[in-house]
Amino acid sequence: MRFYFPDSQDLVSPTYDFLNDEYLATRVRQRDDVYAHEIVAPRPYDGILLSKAIVDPADSRSAGKYAASQRARLYRLGVRRFFRLPDEMDSLGDCGAFNYIDEEYPPYSIEEVLDFYDGCGFDAGVSIDHVIFGYVPSGAEDDVDPAWKKRRIISLDLAEQFISAVKDRESPLEPVGAAQGWSPASYADSVVQLQKMGYHRIALGGMVPLKTSEILDCLVEIESRLEDQTTLHLLGINRVDSMEKFAEHGVASFDSTSVFRQAFMDERNNYHTANDTYAAIRVPQVDGNPALKRRVLAGLVSQADVIALERKCLALLRDYDQCRAGIEETLSALEQYEKLVLGEGAKKKSYLPRYRRTLEEMPWKHCPCALCQKHGIEIAIFRGTERNKRRGFHNLTVLEAKMRKLSFAGRRTGEAAQMRRTSG
């Protein structure tokens, strides 16, 4: 089972100064900062997935994730050199269909997408698709929204044009057909149609909102129609507890940012371990927290007092990590700072009980990953991109370890895809 990490320019600076919260004056982001596969071992994913939508947004009003200079560098160097990928890692491109879900028709042409894939030198690329917004179980398809049917037809038509264009160009790209559907039967039919077009690798899209049982229902229906050489990729799906079952039904790879984003997007499940999750300890920067800045500007709190308490919290957390401060003293400072951040009478529930558990169990002390070993409690502090992304990278190492322990004994695994790639 191969795991692809979708890129959104997620790098960290190896020389970041945590004590003073500052970068080196000579730092150049693309030259000096590093990706997760460069800073942790074993490498936490098998390949990079990059969407055209974040590099070349179809909407001119959208800035995308890549600056003009980064985009030019990507095309100049190619995806492998740009991401500094080792030989054993794959690159997979897609269009980023969720970025244009509100459009009636995908905004990219076949030529534009192939120019992106070939211009960047991807190993494989997904055909243009259009996400379907709903799901109905088997036997309940009588009143399917006509828009859903139209989007499936669009996806299949574009897939046929895409694989034809790949052949006409004699491109070395491995074409991956995108299958959309709203039910087990419609997904299975999309897979059948894609196989007839000549696809041997098929990406199942639009499944992110589905329950695991619904994904399995679809996979069971699809498997009965799969040809021996066909493998499946799950777009945006990370259900590690079900991956063995997914593999039994033809899934060879998947991509997801969920464990990475939980590090700084989730309310409580920020730091992952093999068997549990913990809340990171929030110590927001005074000059980086909009609510706190508004309270300072309004004269409701003293800027000097807030800065002093911010520094006290950080110092106590570091001392606690080195057994030089007690938990009650540390939590007391965090409570004071939380009250200043939230304001009097705030309805938001306090994080203090979660902080207590995190501090009592100190999960970073037992983690073998290089980031936890190097940074200690800094990895568990919710504060700024450098700590938050490192915690996300840590979460990726936990996912990698979980995947390594699974047994993929299904009749189809990632071996078929890997064999094609090696022979190609």
Q: What is the pLDDT of residue 133?
A: 85
The values of phi and psi at residue 296, to 5°, are -65, -45
Give residue-wise pLDDT tens across range 338-350.
988 887 666 778 9
In this prediction, residue 319 has a pLDDT band, given cuts at 50, 70 and 90, of very high
Q: What is the pLDDT of residue 417?
A: 40
Q: Would you name the residues annotated as active-site residues?
A: 94, 255
Q: What is the pLDDT of residue 135?
A: 93
Give residue-wise pLDDT tens across range 201-234.
999 999 999 999 999 999 999 999 999 999 999 9
Three-class secondary structure assignment of 258-321:
HHHHHHHHCCCCCEECCCCEECCEECCCHHHCHHHHHHHHCCCCCHHHHHHHHHHHHHHHHHHH
Which has more confidence, 417 or 306?
306
In this prediction, residue 424 has a pLDDT band, given cuts at 50, 70 and 90, of very low
Instruction: Take residue 322 and report the two structure tokens written for it.
Output: 């080195």
Give the global pTM. 0.91
Give residue-wise pLDDT tens across range 28-38.
988 899 999 99
Give residue-wise pLDDT tens across range 50-106.
999 999 988 755 557 888 899 999 999 999 999 999 999 999 999 999 999 999 999
- Segment 108-129 shows an average pLDDT of 97
User: Quick check: 139 pLDDT over 50?
Assistant: yes
User: Quick check: 253 pLDDT over 70?
Assistant: yes
User: Quick check: 314 pLDDT over 50?
Assistant: yes
Cα gap 5→37, rounded to integer Å:
10
Find, among 286, 277, 203, 269, the residue nearest to 2 by Cα: 203
Q: What is the pLDDT of residue 62?
A: 59
Cα gap 54→68, rounded to integer Å:
12
Percent of the chain with pLDDT over 70: 93
Cα gap 145→159, rounded to integer Å:
22
* Cα separation values, 171 from 118, 122, 197, 256, 334, Å: 7, 11, 17, 27, 58
User: Quick check: 305 pLDDT over 70?
Assistant: yes
Which has more confidence, 68 or 123?
123
Secondary structure of residue 393 in the 3-state scheme: helix
For residue 272, the surrounding DSSP H or E stretch is strand 271-272
Cα gap 128→125, rounded to integer Å:
9
Contact in structure between 3 and 26 (CB atoms under 8 Å)? no
Find, among 192, 221, 218, the residue nearest to 206 by Cα: 218
CA 166 to chain centre: 28
Percent of the chain with pLDDT over 90: 81
Which of 19-23, 94-98, 138-142, 408-412 is predicted least confidently?
A: 408-412
Find, among 75, 108, 238, 283, the residue nearest to 178 by Cα: 108
Q: What is the pLDDT of residue 63?
A: 56
Q: What is the pLDDT of residue 406?
A: 85
Mean pLDDT over the full length of the chain = 92
Give residue-wise pLDDT tens across range 149-207.
999 999 999 999 999 999 999 999 999 999 999 999 999 999 999 999 999 999 999 99
For residue 50, the surrounding DSSP H or E stretch is strand 47-51
Q: List b or e across 214-235, with b for residues whose CB sees 16 or more CB atoms inside 10 angstroms.
A: bbbbbbebbbeebeeebbbbbb
> Residue 304, class by beta-carbon neighbours within 10 Å (0-12 exposed, 13-18 middle, 19+ buried)?
exposed
Residues in the chain: 424
What single letter denotes the amino acid at residue 303? Q
Report whether the peptide linkage leading into residue 42 is cis, meaning its omega lies within 30 degrees of zero.
Answer: yes
Give residue-wise pLDDT tens across range 1-17.
999 999 999 999 999 99
Q: What is the pLDDT of residue 345?
A: 66
CA 207 to chain centre: 15
Cα gap 285→282, rounded to integer Å:
9
Contact in structure between 141 and 177 (CB atoms under 8 Å)? no
Secondary structure of residue 386 in the 3-state scheme: helix
Q: What is the pLDDT of residue 48?
A: 97
DSSP letter for 17, please.
B
Find, among 102, 98, 111, the residue nearest to 49 by Cα: 98
Look at the block and give the residue holding tokens 């965090």: 334
In this prediction, residue 296 has a pLDDT band, given cuts at 50, 70 and 90, of confident
Domain boundaries, the chain: 2-263+408-423, 266-401
CA 169 to chain centre: 32
Task: Choose the CATH number for 2-263+408-423 among 3.20.20.105, 3.40.190.80, 1.10.3720.10, 2.40.160.10.
Answer: 3.20.20.105
Q: What is the pLDDT of residue 415?
A: 47
Cα gap 4→23, rounded to integer Å:
29
Cα gap 85→177, rounded to integer Å:
24
Q: What is the pLDDT of residue 235?
A: 97
The values of phi and psi at residue 73, to 5°, are -70, -40
User: Quick check: 322 pLDDT over 60?
Assistant: yes
Look at the block and give the residue holding tokens 């192939």: 114
Find, among 126, 178, 176, 175, the residue nearest to 152 by Cα: 178
Q: Is the dihedral of CA 212, 100, 192, 423 positive or negative?
A: negative
